[in-house]
Structure 1
């Protein structure tokens, strides 16, 4: 799988039986939702979640599915933010890319060459993008590709990605351009938003490396150009963001993903995620696919509220965060943790169990030194009450 991410021919469409199976999972007449870089970045951050891998690979509309399950979530950009972002992007790439030329510090009286990638489907646009990149590299001229199409194989299924822009320099260096509408104030932007943009851009870099590996003289920059409004104006400014760390993580995590056909093959016959089905059937279908919920999912997945409720119902320690899960070792539920703390279960030689018992002893000692009436102290809760 790792080789398919870095080299080899462009990813092909799934085989006909797999396509039919994925169509059955989506439901009749449901159009597949394409995987984008934002979804892939979130998927790479949680590679153990078969549920998301399958639903995204099959193109299921997770927002509609979450609503049908009774756990709707407001997810994605507001219409105002979307329009503001489009207007800012139009300004950045206007006048033949003059603003980008300025931000790149490029000296060229002719500006960028702007290839026409046409209006074909994703496979056709990906092929035209690869051809334009090779021609620009061979000609050695500044070239701007706006909204190119890149192909990447993920868990055995092709994904088509559309970065804001890719710049080809005269030296054959390809640079991803991420255009965001959040401001860069005093040459600094919100760290969380920059981090999200870097993870998204790393997916584009990974896809570009596939094409560069088959293009003589080409290389892909591991620093992307992040373009944002300057201070409180609409004037574009830019900063180079090193994405080597995000690229390494994304490559490794995507390589770990179970292939979509393997997950689908393990499902019961007749399983479908069609939002038109009754909620009981949908719940059973969703629960038939293992999930790996963590609090970070709330910012990255439309099914997060549903998965959180189920995780809490099982008393899973993952609900408290991945770091807590790592500290607790083999203790998988809140009930296990409380029993270990009381000394009712668990191996006393286990460091996690020993730490819990020590903490429980210190808590009891501290509470014993203060009158109960003043502390209102309560015993350690039972598992059923620790939600």
Structure 2
């Protein structure tokens, strides 16, 4: 598809987006990726990170302006290796990646089906890209139901509402197989050696993939008319639920096409739990959202080569944790109320201290502001600097000073109890 037929259209900012843009100041926005969202979900009580990520603030640059620069991020060697590996997989319209996915995901009887790799308009803006991704998903389900092809979506764009703010997420790939099931593919540059990989890195990849599954489920629910109207009618008419949904959603997309892109529904942002998704983080969704598999596919280099190998990722635990944690987050509008009016972090970085942090030693491996927050926690004598386990054990004792005082009092009471027992023994 020719990109020129879909011109970029700048959407007007909502009041929340305008406030976040003003907070960021003249700096360019940093998009929130699944890694950042997974880190935020792991520490949902951190108001500081929630606001900074929603505003697209460069936390590394902010930490440097605050005088606490962080040695955080991948080495240049790891970044270069990852780029080379991904370029190889995506060369010639993802030929090598498609061959690997065909071997790993397609049953033998469907191994000869052609693969569709649609153009997802990577050069366009987020709204157009998200709309094109939704249209491609509808077309892919229709192709799978008719037995025409299976589909590989290369770097699609999903939109998700988190704490009242829109987040754009870009999975490495999504596969819609001939069985109409959707699989999230996560590409990483760390090697799989003799069938095993670094557990910490695999865990981080699983947390990121779980975020993509959550966004993909929410997108599926937004495309599924049965989720809010007459679920089950398609099955009663003799068609598969996924195929009937694809047909209905495709018609809705065709009716809503405009100059903004291939598909322009009323809103391209879906919440983390739209109508139809189960309330319990452990329950499985129904309708089209049930097509999204809770087992992802991890693609890594084999041993020390650039040859690709794939391994399944069970995402059920990470998905439940992420959904539960995101549901606990306070809305961004509420958090912004504590900031000074007209605050700009590029001019007054100290304004960030108005936002509460939830420092823990785990932040050192996940957040660029960790050193700044740690110094504040140490200055306040907070027990959080000792770790989450210690914090949980101390209960209502929130400072090191209070904990030491309680220890001294406990020692005196224990000595008094021993003296009493000795006196009674006589």
2:162 counterpart of 1:154:
yes
Deviation at 1:86, TM superposition (A): 1.8
Q: What residue in structure 1 maps to residue 105 of structure 2? A: 104
1:261 aligns to what SS in structure 2? helix
2:128 counterpart of 1:129:
no
1:227 aligns to what SS in structure 2? strand
Superposed CA deviations along residues 17-38 of structure 1, whole A, max 9, x for unmatched, are 22221122111x2222111100
2:122 counterpart of 1:114:
no
Inter-CA distance 172–156: structure 2 relative to 1 (3 Å threshold): same
2:20 counterpart of 1:22:
yes
1:163 aligns to what SS in structure 2? coil
2:322 aligns to what SS in structure 1? helix
- The equivalences for 1:263-278 within 5 A come to 263-274=335-346, 277=347
Q: What residue in structure 2 maps to residue 205 of structure 1? A: 213
2:248 counterpart of 1:240:
no
Runs of 5+ in structure 1 lacking a partner?
1-12, 344-353, 363-387
- The structure 1 residue matched to 2:35, chosen from 25, 33, 38, is 38
1:209 aligns to what SS in structure 2? helix
Q: What residue in structure 1 maps to residue 381 of structure 2? A: 315
Distance 1:357 1:292 in 2: 33
Please report the TM-score for the alignment, with normalisation by the length of structure 1: 0.81
Q: What residue in structure 1 maps to residue 84 of structure 2? A: 87
| Alignment check: 8 A CA contact 1:98 1:111 kept | no
Deviation at 1:211, TM superposition (A): 2.1
2:401 counterpart of 1:342:
no
| Alignment check: 8 A CA contact 2:172 2:186 kept | yes
Q: What residue in structure 2 maps to residue 375 of structure 1? A: none
Superposed CA deviations along residues 118-160 of structure 1, whole A, max 9, x for unmatched, are 1211111111111101111011121001111011101111101
| Alignment check: 8 A CA contact 1:143 1:168 kept | yes
Distance 1:121 1:262 in 2: 28
1:339 aligns to what SS in structure 2? helix
Inter-CA distance 159–20: structure 2 relative to 1 (3 Å threshold): same
Inter-CA distance 358–92: structure 2 relative to 1 (3 Å threshold): farther
Deviation at 1:303, TM superposition (A): 0.3
Distance 2:365 2:311 in 1: 25
Distance 2:50 2:126 in 1: 21
Runs of 5+ in structure 2 lacking a partner?
1-10, 225-240, 243-287, 419-426
Distance 2:411 2:111 in 1: 65
Inter-CA distance 357–68: structure 2 relative to 1 (3 Å threshold): farther
- The structure 2 residue matched to 1:61, chosen from 58, 63, 72, is 58
| Alignment check: 8 A CA contact 2:106 2:178 kept | no
Superposed CA deviations along residues 221-253 of structure 1, whole A, max 9, x for unmatched, are 100000111122222111111101110111111
Q: What residue in structure 2 maps to residue 179 of structure 1? A: 187
Q: What residue in structure 2 maps to residue 377 of structure 1? A: none
| Alignment check: 8 A CA contact 2:151 2:175 kept | yes
RMSD: 2.2
| Alignment check: 8 A CA contact 1:145 1:165 kept | yes
Distance 1:21 1:70 in 2: 26
Q: What residue in structure 2 maps to residue 167 of structure 1? A: 175
| Alignment check: 8 A CA contact 1:226 1:239 kept | yes
| Alignment check: 8 A CA contact 2:361 2:387 kept | yes
